[in-house]
Amino acid sequence: MYSTAFLAALLAPAAVNAQLNDLAVRAGLKYFGTALGEGSINSDSQYAAILSDKSMFGQLVPENGQKWDATEPSRGQFTYTQGDITANTARRNGQGMRCHTLVWYSQLPNWVNSGSWTRQTLQSVIETHISNVMGHYKGQCYAWDVVNEAINDDGTWRPSPFYNTFQTDYFAIAFNAAKRADPAAKLYYNDYNLEYNQAKTDRAVELVKIVQAAGAPIDGVGLQAHLIVGSTPSRSNLATVLRRFTALGVEVAYTELDIRHSSLPASSSALATQGNDYANVVGSCLDVAGCVGVTVWGFTDKYSWIPQTFPGTGAALIYDSNFNKKPAWTSVSSVLAAKATGNPPVSSSTSTFTTITTPPVTTTTTSARPTSTSSAGGPEQTRWGQCGGNGWTGPTRCQSPWTCQKLNDWYWQCL
């Protein structure tokens, strides 16, 4: 457990004067983000003000607005009213966006769940859904959760209309369709309880290999990190899990972080433990090359999904129900500040994470190709680092053997 003196030392001036996303970028991450609750953003001005502060949250993800039941409630009839809430908020604030989610067993409309499918008909449904939804948000999403929660906790494959029809073949179908729909977006597999490095983690490693063996593109694995206070793995153990995936050549991120108390109200010691647990999660991301960011699944206990799903538990987030910063906020700030020490300050207007500043366009613009790794002189960027893009003024050469590759007009990366 952190002592009071240790936390104070970690905070230092940088933590006092900087918010979480600015600290995360200084510490080498692309973003510190949060899920946006579509039902809260327009009804609670205090919630909206904190969520819209780019220095605090550089990235947003729709909590429910891009799921299948929200985007295609009837076959072939698409609606983006809910998903556009997040997209419009991010664009207005200059924040980035992770997009969530395309192929998932839950929150499916009845016509998908109850359909009598053949491989041919269901493949058409999957490809049509992905093409339309990703097409609507093309150019706006840093990453998409393409396949979500395909594995049971015991490591077996989860039954769903997709698995029941295709077995594991639907993974490649979905990832290939996603690549066609938005070639610039990072494509993720996303799941919970991967953090414990047990049978489910083993199966997720296998899933990545299955997709790769099929010749389909997969760029990342999202660890949801819905954890429990006092039962969160250590920083080093979490880093070990992350490295199992980065060793396969994919990036990783914590995509839905919350750490719930198993009984309420939480004592002061339980709140301190929660803070330590948050610090371990964020710290493990900082420890692993290829861990690109952290997203909390909401930021205030006032609107957390936890109490409704796990009755008697909760208080899982970094702000309490009255929008006061909890010890968890301080711990996250501290661990980011410790990593950021010595790095130049950033402001909410600068970030290595692509942000949405204009509506998506269908025309293609070209950027000057960054200097190749063979150019003489000048600083070199490490693997996973940014090496070019509109407005980029940092290193344009990559350390060997990595090369600078264009992901979109605003972001080139050493891969």
DSSP, res 396: -
* pLDDT reading at 101 higher than 80: yes
**Residues catalogued as catalytic:** 149, 256
In the numeric block, the tokens 């003196």 are attached to: 5
Could you tell me if 348 and 54 are in contact, meaning their C-beta atoms sit under 8 angstroms apart?
yes
For residue 330, whether the previous peptide bond is cis, meaning omega lies within 30 degrees of 0, is no
Determine the Cα–Cα distance for residues 206 and 197; give it in Å rounded to an integer: 13
Strand partners, 325: 319
Determine the Cα–Cα distance for residues 314 and 229; give it in Å rounded to an integer: 10
The pLDDT value recorded for residue 396 is: 86
Could you tell me if 387 and 381 are in contact, meaning their C-beta atoms sit under 8 angstroms apart?
yes
**2-6, 51-55, 228-232, 300-304: least confidently modelled range:** 2-6
Q: Of 248, 274, 276, 280, which is closest to residue 262 (Cα–Cα)?
A: 274
Strand partners, 157: 151
The pLDDT value recorded for residue 377 is: 62
Give the gyration radius of the chain's Cα atoms. 21
- Structure token pair of residue 278: 């948050």
Helix (H, G, I), strand (E, B) or coil at 314: strand
Could you tell me if 339 and 279 are in contact, meaning their C-beta atoms sit under 8 angstroms apart?
no
Each residue of 154-186: pLDDT tens digit? 999 999 999 999 999 999 999 999 999 999 999
Reduced 3-state DSSP string for 355-371: CCCCCCCCCCCCCCCCC
First CA to last CA across the chain, in angstroms?
37
**15-24, 83-92, 368-377: least confidently modelled range:** 368-377
* Number of helices followed by number of strands (H, E) in the chain: 14, 14
Q: Of 56, 30, 10, which is closest to residue 289 (Cα–Cα)?
A: 30
Amino acid at 95: Q
* DSSP per-residue codes, 285-319: HHHSTTEEEEEES-SBGGG-SHHHHSTT-B--SSB
Q: Of 253, 158, 160, 248, which is closest to residue 210 (Cα–Cα)?
A: 248
Each residue of 336-391: pLDDT tens digit? 999 988 666 655 444 555 555 444 433 222 233 333 333 346 777 765 556 776 55
Helix (H, G, I), strand (E, B) or coil at 308: helix
Name the pLDDT band for 397 (thresholds 50, 70, 90).
confident
Strand partners, 314: 261
* pLDDT reading at 78 higher than 60: yes
Query: Rounded to two decimals, what is the model's pTM?
Result: 0.82
The residues, any chain, with a CB within 8 Å of residue 317's CB and separated by 6 or more, are 258, 296, 297, 298, 299, 300, 301, 304, 326, 328
The pLDDT value recorded for residue 399 is: 81
The pLDDT value recorded for residue 405 is: 78
User: Which of 144 and 413 is assigned the larger pLDDT?
Assistant: 144
Q: Of 330, 310, 326, which is closest to residue 318 (Cα–Cα)?
A: 326
